[in-house]
Amino acid sequence: MIPSQFAYARPQSLTEAMQLIGDLGDEGKILAGGHSLIPVMRLRLSDPENLIDITAIEELKTISESNDTLTIGSCATHAEIATNNHVHHACPMMTNAAAMIGDIQVRNFGTIGGSIAHADPAADWPGILMAANATINLGSVHGYRSVLATDFFHGLFMTALQDEELIISITIPKNLANSHSSYAKHHQPASRFAIVGCAVALESGGEARVAFNGVSSKPFRDTALETKLSGKELTKELIEEATASVADGVNLLSDHFASDEYRKHLAGVYAKKALMELIK
């Protein structure tokens, strides 16, 4: 199906983009990679009167680092993240995950900001950003604010992003846990979306963060599993014991790809896989 007619704007600066978003309100939609928005427009599930293409704004494409943090612009593509050495050293689960997303065309056009704004429960980035203890930086004509990834994802396709706001960047702390991280997923063969994905950031003998996507209607940190792993040396025996009750008490998804029972089983399997990567 062909989308309805719409007006198209391509702002050249962040200030111009935020002004357009503020002026158009509900009548405008932000376009970045287009891999989430264009399909729903073709199905007429979304019918915006105006598209605001933010891909010309250089500020939103940059990947930079300081002594303590890594900052990734919202329009950085999956391919750019997958091949960035700064990202790989600071948080290897991000480069590994980016290389698993879709196919080469999706990776070269799809953006991290577009993915997390859409908040598909099967998308890879939400769980990874939770495990990385990332901060999502938002802006509008009314000002700027930052939201922890653990507070950003509210439910099925629901986030803390407010009307007139734009995702500007994602900030990743540079610490031992994030530099010792991994991601494993069981993907749907055609789309490569995660039926179950598990992201782990773990400092040996210290902090452990474990998050899942694809398992429930929104990504979540498995705090019970984190407690079992924190402060301990990672061993095969500990992994077997700690992952025996993964995703307990979680409202699990059930669809034609996997039942809730099978998803819970896969969550345990892929938690083991992600953790085993860290002791190889």
pLDDT in tens, 195-225: 999 999 999 889 999 999 999 999 999 999 9
If asked whether residues 118 and 162 sit together in one domain, one would say yes
Instruction: Report the candidate in 36, 35, 38 with the shortest Cα–Cα distance to residue 6.
Output: 38
Q: Choose one of 155, 173, 191: the last residue of a domain.
A: 173
At 5 the pLDDT is 87
The mean pLDDT of 22-30, rounded to a whole number, is 90
Rounded to an integer, what distance in angstroms lies between the CA atom of residue 206 and that of residue 233? 8
Boundaries of domain holding 41: 7-53
pLDDT reading at 42 higher than 90: no
Convert the pLDDT of each residue in 59-108 to its tens digit. 999 999 999 999 999 999 999 999 999 999 999 999 999 999 999 999 99
Domain annotation covers residue 26: yes
The mean pLDDT of 247-263, rounded to a whole number, is 96
Global pTM reads 0.94
Rounded to an integer, what distance in angstroms lies between the CA atom of residue 172 and that of residue 93? 12
Rounded to an integer, what distance in angstroms lies between the CA atom of residue 83 and that of residue 50? 33
Number of domains present in the structure of the chain: 3
If asked whether residues 112 and 183 sit together in one domain, one would say no
If asked whether residues 230 and 190 sit together in one domain, one would say yes
At 74 the pLDDT is 98
Give the pLDDT band of residue 233 (cuts 50, 70, 90): very high
Domain annotation covers residue 219: yes
Domain annotation covers residue 2: no
**Between 42 and 119, where is the model more confident?**
119
Identify the CATH number of the domain in which residue 40 sits.
3.30.43.10
- Show the CA angle centred on residue 266, arms to residues 265 and 271, nearest 5°: 105
Rounded to an integer, what distance in angstroms lies between the CA atom of residue 29 and that of residue 232? 47
pLDDT reading at 3 higher than 80: no
If asked whether residues 88 and 120 sit together in one domain, one would say yes
Q: Choose one of 173, 188, 220: the last residue of a domain.
A: 173
The mean pLDDT of 252-263, rounded to a whole number, is 96
The mean pLDDT of 178-205, rounded to a whole number, is 96
If asked whether residues 136 and 188 sit together in one domain, one would say no
At 34 the pLDDT is 83
What separation in angstroms does the CA of 237 have from each of 51, 184, 226, 229?
A: 53, 19, 16, 11
Give the pLDDT band of residue 1 (cuts 50, 70, 90): low
Domain annotation covers residue 262: yes
If asked whether residues 196 and 240 sit together in one domain, one would say yes
What letters, b where the CB count within 10 A reaches 16 and e where it falls short, cover 244-280?
eebbeebebbeeebbebeebbebbbbbbbbbbebbee
Identify the CATH number of the domain in which residue 222 sits.
3.30.390.50
Mean pLDDT estimate for the chain: 95
Q: Quick check: helix, strand or coil at residue 61?
A: coil
